[in-house]
């Protein structure tokens, strides 16, 4: 099966015809778009075959799509996580659209916002998953209802997945990644609502430690390179005005 090279102009989500509204983000690995139909908006994400993986590019794209879709499914019913709504093919998935904005330290949030966000993170961890990308405020939303939402589970890890990769070291790795999630949470709270941040929380939002430092060493060069690649490419995948795929 060939990975889609164009963004479909029309999707059929749960029997409804939805049209492409705009592209939220496009990078060498995936493109994320908003579609709108009679019942509202949806988020559609399609993965690409990255050229760095040569002949394994398609397989890796399928793996990433299947992996993130499974993460959303594992977190189904967790308040603050968009519901998964199915897939078009092996390279895509569709989820619930959350009306709101990205967390921004220059824009106020309700007094109880970070208490609820902390509860949300604890609930994610209780489902045996770490987000692993809470550092990016783009992955934390402030809904129009004032509630916190977490999105983008592309590089998240489950306890089971870590067990397959690290064997007996998995519990330690999971705990370190959980602590990194919390460190980034306190960092955001310290920057966004310093008036509500306790001295202990302020300390926790400044203490990096070995694992957070390692996370930075790995992810920052990756994101720098990704921005360079996107800049060189200079365009998003075109919209196919003739396709009408269905999301089951």
Share of the chain above pLDDT 90, in %: 68
Q: Domain-by-domain residue ranges, the chain?
A: 1-97, 98-232
Q: Are strands 92-96 and 84-86 parallel, antiparallel or unpaired?
A: antiparallel
Residue 157 predicted with pLDDT over 80: yes
pLDDT band of 229, cuts 50, 70, 90: very low
Residue 243 predicted with pLDDT over 50: no
DSSP 138-206: GGEEEETTS-EEE---TT-EEHHHHHHHHGGGHHHHHHHHHHHHHHHHHHHHHHH-GGG--HHHHHHTT
What CA–CA distance (Å, rounded) separates 212 from 186?
A: 13
Does the CA dihedral 174-178-179-183 come out positive or negative? positive
What CA–CA distance (Å, rounded) separates 33 from 8?
A: 10
- Please write the tens of the pLDDT for every residue from 183-208: 999 999 999 999 999 999 999 988 76
pLDDT band of 230, cuts 50, 70, 90: very low
pLDDT number for residue 216: 55
Looking at per-residue pLDDT, the higher value among 89 and 242 belongs to 89
Span of 113-122, 138-147, 227-236 with lowest mean pLDDT: 227-236
- Please write the tens of the pLDDT for every residue from 75-116: 999 999 999 999 888 999 999 999 999 999 999 999 999 999
pLDDT band of 65, cuts 50, 70, 90: very high
pLDDT, mean over the chain? 86
What CA–CA distance (Å, rounded) separates 161 from 155?
A: 12
For the chain, how far is it from start to end, CA to CA, in angstroms?
Answer: 18
Alpha carbon dihedral 84, 86, 92, 98, in 10-degree steps, equals: -30
- The SS3 of residue 221 is helix
Alpha carbon dihedral 215, 139, 85, 48, in 10-degree steps, equals: -60
- The SS3 of residue 99 is coil
0.75 exceeded by pTM = yes
Q: Are strands 246-247 and 30-37 parallel, antiparallel or unpaired?
A: unpaired
pLDDT number for residue 26: 86
CATH fold for the domain made of 98-232: Transferase(Phosphotransferase); domain 1 (1.10.510)
User: What class has domain 1-97?
Assistant: alpha beta
């Amino acid at each position: 099966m060939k990975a889609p090279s164009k963004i479909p102009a029309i999707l059929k989500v749960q029997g409804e015809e939805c049209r492409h509204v705009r592209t939220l983000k496009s990078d060498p690995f995936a493109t994320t778009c908003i579609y709108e139909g009679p019942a509202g908006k949806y988020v559609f994400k399609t993965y690409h075959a990255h050229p760095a993986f040569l002949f394994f590019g398609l397989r890796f794209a399928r793996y990433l799509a299947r992996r993130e879709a499974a993460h959303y499914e594992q977190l189904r019913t967790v308040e603050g996580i968009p519901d998964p709504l199915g897939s078009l093919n092996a390279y895509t998935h569709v989820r619930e659209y959350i009306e709101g904005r990205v967390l921004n330290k220059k824009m106020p949030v309700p007094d109880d916002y970070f208490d609820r966000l902390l509860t949300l993170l604890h609930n994610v961890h209780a489902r045996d998953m770490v987000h692993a990308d809470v550092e990016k405020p783009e992955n934390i939303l402030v809904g129009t209802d004032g509630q916190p939402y977490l999105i983008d589970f592309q590089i998240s890890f489950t306890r089971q997945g870590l067990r397959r990769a690290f064997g007996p070291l998995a519990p330690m790795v999971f705990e370190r990644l959980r602590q990194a999630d919390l460190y980034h949470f306190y960092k955001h709270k310290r920057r966004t609502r310093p008036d509500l941040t306790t001295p202990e929380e302020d300390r926790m939002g400044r203490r990096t430690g070995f694992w957070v430092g390692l996370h930075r060493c790995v992810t920052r060069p990756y994101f720098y390179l990704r921005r360079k690649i996107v800049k060189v490419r200079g365009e998003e995948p075109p919209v196919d005005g003739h396709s009408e795929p269905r999301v089951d």
